Structure 1
């Protein structure tokens, strides 16, 4: 079985979508009935690193629009056609139309979050949506949003949540080097981690900072660490200063993958207190490191804490409710929630094998 995938980013990419796509490619390649997976990434910003066996990763397609179009043309003219095509992002759907020049092949779409919540693209995109044999969402929340505006039959929708490597993300003591780097000696740490993009001000950083002055009256040793970089960083720094908490909000910049586990372990509470998350992989990574975590009831992040079974849920736009959740989380012990392996990599692989590959492989 040969599979063709069009992805925004994966190996050599950053963030939750790239992580999901790396896990997806690994799971597809691990199925014994899959002979080859060909992937066209749109963006590569870091070294690609080691790749799974059976994966042909055309990193050259990330060199611009013409390179990506050339990659699609190369795939389209492959004399040995594919048994399955996967479009890894709703914004790439326009590129799927030329595939109709070849014989009909089952095609699926991966949905990650807010980009799929509202209509876009007009009739051309809707035509490609209604050609889909299935779509996979990382959350039930996003699945329902997508069904609401596309009118697709509900049975075409699959849900496979993000996954965490439970052998890598584990509890541990706070790293003394990082404590010294960020000046955390004697401090209790609230933490958030995300891309700081002016187009994505739904991450909840503003709301947590606005809660800090009141929290500091009861917890003077509290600091808020914001992990990530991007175009909105300066505005957030200016806001912290305007709130009089400039010395209580620490900006780490981008956290490299090799420092991520140690960084999570610095936290006493982890928050994803926004309203635009398609799932929230950072929550399950933090919980795997035994950090009490808070999700939002305004988006899909509540699914990452199993609607309160693994962590706390609050309305981040309700200041008393947000502060209530933070107070409760600060009082909780640092333990890994029982049952978190439902988001483990083995469970993820089984879901991909059963829901996707299992549908199409030739007996």
Structure 2
């Protein structure tokens, strides 16, 4: 059988989405071979949940953060496991448990970004180093795994994130753009957590750049979709910068509302300091929206500066304002970059491409 162990599949977030995509590929492969599979979610609520993604349905058993119960469940099926997949380095020690009970079993561990940008605790690091294969979303992250976790580069496979098939527009279709005369909207989609601070995602920098942008384009609005305990601090920053009337914190929204926010904006911006990948960039690009991101982490591997959008150094509000003004003032440039982004997502970051890359590791 193939065993998949996940931090959670019912929750929102990039790692959870990556996990659902991986689970869909595993379930499809196992069914095609007549092989059993089982999925476990540490943070999912107790009981069995039915998940559907990319047109594939599969069950996952939740353990409500009960690590001991999940470890026992892993041990109970370890001897029948041909291949185990762990979608986060925090779960890697379970690979050692399976290996101890079933030396013939192989296991794979996925890494995503900041969680491997510092040395891992000893047991997690050992679990990662003993994995048969490790995945990374970008070469930048792979280099961190090599340098800080002491995993040989030859055992690391680059498997980038993918756009959800449900989110992708029909082939050849472009998202409707805002009507002429409507106030232009600059959009960020991000959680707002104090542990990360708005400065991690660059929201601080966008707010600080707004006075310069507004001096040239007085009608611009900045919309932030997402919520968290850092929101009050960011709201206060907008007040101090004198732009609180032009900034809207929309909070958490459902999928339909999120797509409407994307469709209403002219530019997507998230100049992060440390971004492992950034699935929200793929969503914006798939809808033909030019993007502005941080020239750091894995983001430069998604698009080259000046193609689907621009890359700016973290914290440089003046440089960011310049790029935003350039895009706001040139609708032809926005259209060209939007078209380039859509083509890039279709060719490099589709679910079909993910299925090929990830599926190759499972045979």
TM-score by length of 2: 0.87
The alpha-carbon deviation at position 224 of structure 1 amounts to: 0.7
* 1:174-202 deviations in Å (ceiling 9; x for gaps): 699xxxxxxxx831111111111111121
The 2-side partners of 1:197 and 1:345 are apart by 29
**Are 2:171 and 1:172 equivalent residues in the alignment?**
no
The alpha-carbon deviation at position 308 of structure 1 amounts to: 4.6
The residue number in structure 1 matching 2:152 is: 153
The residue number in structure 1 matching 2:362 is: 357
CA contact (8 A) 1:8 1:89 kept: yes
The 1-side partners of 2:261 and 2:36 are apart by 36
The residue number in structure 2 matching 1:90 is: 89
The alpha-carbon deviation at position 318 of structure 1 amounts to: 2.2
The 2-side partners of 1:309 and 1:49 are apart by 40
Evaluate the alpha carbon distance shift between residue 238 and residue 64 of structure 1 in structure 2; reply closer, same or farther with a 3 A threshold. same
The correspondence for 1:27, drawn from 25, 32, 50, is 25
* 1:188-217 deviations in Å (ceiling 9; x for gaps): 111111111111121000010000011110
RMSD between superposed Cα atoms in Å: 2.4
The 1-side partners of 2:112 and 2:334 are apart by 31
Evaluate the alpha carbon distance shift between residue 143 and residue 289 of structure 1 in structure 2; reply closer, same or farther with a 3 A threshold. same
The 2-side partners of 1:256 and 1:290 are apart by 21
The residue number in structure 2 matching 1:133 is: 132
The alpha-carbon deviation at position 136 of structure 1 amounts to: 0.2
The 2-side partners of 1:136 and 1:262 are apart by 33
Say how many residue pairs are matched.
342
CA contact (8 A) 1:297 1:315 kept: yes
* 1:198-251 deviations in Å (ceiling 9; x for gaps): 111210000100000111100101111111011111111111111111111101
* Range 216-225 or range 255-264, more displaced: 255-264
Evaluate the alpha carbon distance shift between residue 175 and residue 324 of structure 1 in structure 2; reply closer, same or farther with a 3 A threshold. closer
The 1-side partners of 2:353 and 2:106 are apart by 24
The 2-side partners of 1:165 and 1:152 are apart by 30
The correspondence for 2:349, drawn from 333, 343, 351, is 343
The 1-side partners of 2:77 and 2:192 are apart by 40
The 2-side partners of 1:295 and 1:161 are apart by 17
The 2-side partners of 1:54 and 1:265 are apart by 29
The alpha-carbon deviation at position 307 of structure 1 amounts to: 5.2
Evaluate the alpha carbon distance shift between residue 49 and residue 84 of structure 1 in structure 2; reply closer, same or farther with a 3 A threshold. closer
The alpha-carbon deviation at position 93 of structure 1 amounts to: 2.6
**What are the ranges of 5 or more consecutive residues in structure 1 without an aligned counterpart?**
177-184, 359-363
* Range 197-206 or range 92-101, more displaced: 92-101
The alpha-carbon deviation at position 139 of structure 1 amounts to: 1.2
* Range 31-40 or range 219-228, more displaced: 31-40
The alpha-carbon deviation at position 50 of structure 1 amounts to: 4.0
Structure 1 SS opposite 2:245: coil
CA contact (8 A) 2:51 2:59 kept: no
Evaluate the alpha carbon distance shift between residue 191 and residue 141 of structure 1 in structure 2; reply closer, same or farther with a 3 A threshold. same
**Are 2:58 and 1:55 equivalent residues in the alignment?**
yes
The residue number in structure 2 matching 1:75 is: 74
Evaluate the alpha carbon distance shift between residue 161 and residue 34 of structure 1 in structure 2; reply closer, same or farther with a 3 A threshold. farther
Structure 1 SS opposite 2:157: strand
The correspondence for 1:225, drawn from 218, 223, 226, is 223
* 1:134-187 deviations in Å (ceiling 9; x for gaps): 1001111111111111222110111111111466333333699xxxxxxxx831
